[in-house]
Structure 1
C-alpha cells in the first residue's frame, strides 16, 4: 500500500507511522511526501485510531529533502517547483491538523524537513544522541514551507538562533529551543513515546480532537495565505543564483562560492 512509510496499529488504537527509507536516512522524496499526506488523511478518518507515534526506521529520523528530488527541482520550471513545494506544504499541514494526538520519536539526525516533521507533532521526544539543524541556507535555500510550524513551535526569538545559520545542535539544545519536549536515552525512546500516548487512552476521542483544533485556532495563524506565502518564497529562492550555486556545489562536492578559502 505504501512504498516509503509503514503504518501499524495495535488493538488499543495506537498507530505507529514510520518513515521507511532507512538506506536514504528517511530523506523525503516526492513519493514519501504524497504518502505522508495520504497517511494523515487515512489515520485522521479512522475512528479506531486513538493516537499516532511518528518515527523513522534505521539510524536517522529524517535527513531532510531527498537528493533526487532536489536535482529534479534544479531543472524544473517555476510552475513545477511551485506544485512540488505545495505538496510538501500540504503534507505538513495534514499532519499538523491530524485530529489525533501525534507523538514524535526522533533518533539519529533530523535536518531540514525532518525539523518540520518534528514541529508538527503535539509532543516531540528525541534520543539523547540526536542532531538537528535547519540546513537549507547552506544550499542557498530557506526553510520556507516548514517555517510556519517551526516558528509556531519555537517562537520567533528562539527560532532566530538557528533558523538562518544552518548550524547543527544537539538534543539538549533542542529541548532548550522548544523543538523537543525532552531527550531520553536511545534505548528508552519508544517507551517514552508510549508514556506520552497512554493518558490519551483515558480521554474522550472527540474531545481530544476538539481540544487540538482549539489550540490551533488560538496559536499562530497557519492558513492557506500563509502557506502560499512560504511556497512563493521558496520558489523565489529556487530561481535565484545562490540556490543554483549552492546545490550545484553540493552535487559537485565542492565549496560554494560564498565560502572563503582558509
Structure 2
C-alpha cells in the first residue's frame, strides 16, 4: 500500500543526491528496490546502511516488529536488487548473513547504535542483517557536466568526513568501536580510488586540452601522495584506544577538506 511519509522521503532523497532533512538529516541512508514476491512489481524502501568495505549492510529491524519487513521477504525470493546512494544507482546481490558472521556483525552494529539491540530484545525473531554487494554500477544520477559531477562526489566525501568526525566526537576517550573503524577504512578506500581515477584519467585529459594547468595539476598530484599518508594516519589513529583523539581527527579532516576545496578552485572552470 502507498505510504505518503515514505514516498515523501524517497522523493526528497532523489531530489537532493541522498540528503534528507528532519530526523534523518546527516544519516547514512539508501534506497533499496526489491521485486515484490507476489506482485512482481518493484518495491522501494528507504533504509539506514553501514559501510563494510566492498559491500554495505542493512538491517531488517521493522522497528522491532515481530514480522520481517516486506523488502526482506522480497529479497529472499529474489536477491537481485537495485541500490540508490543518492549519487549512483547500481545492481546488487542481497545476501542475508547467517550464523557466527551474522551474530558478530550484529554485535558490531549494536555497538554503533544501541537501538538495534533494543529492537532485538523486544522480539523473538532474529533480526536479519543483509549484505548488499555491488554487481554493476551505472552512470551518476542527474547527468550534468564533469564539473557538476566533481562537486557532487566531493559533497558526498565531505558528508562522510563530517559523519566520521561526529562519530569520533561522541565515542569518548576509551577508543572507537569496530564499525567506526570500518567506516573510516571504507572512506579511505573510496578517496584512494577517486584520487587514482583523477591522477590516471582526468588529469592527463585536462593537460592535453589545457597545458597551462601543468603546474596546478602537478601540485594536486603531490597532494594526492600526501593525502595517502594522512589517510594511513587516520586508519592507525582509529585502531587503538587513546585519549584526545578528536584534535588529530580534526587536523586530518581539515587537510582532506582543504584539498577538495583546492581541486574545485583549480579545475571547475576547465571542467
Specify if TM > 0.5: no
TM range (shorter): 0.3 to 0.5
Instruction: With the length of structure 2 as denominator, give the TM-score of the two structures.
Output: 0.33
Instruction: With the length of structure 1 as denominator, give the TM-score of the two structures.
Output: 0.34
Structure with more helix by fraction: 2
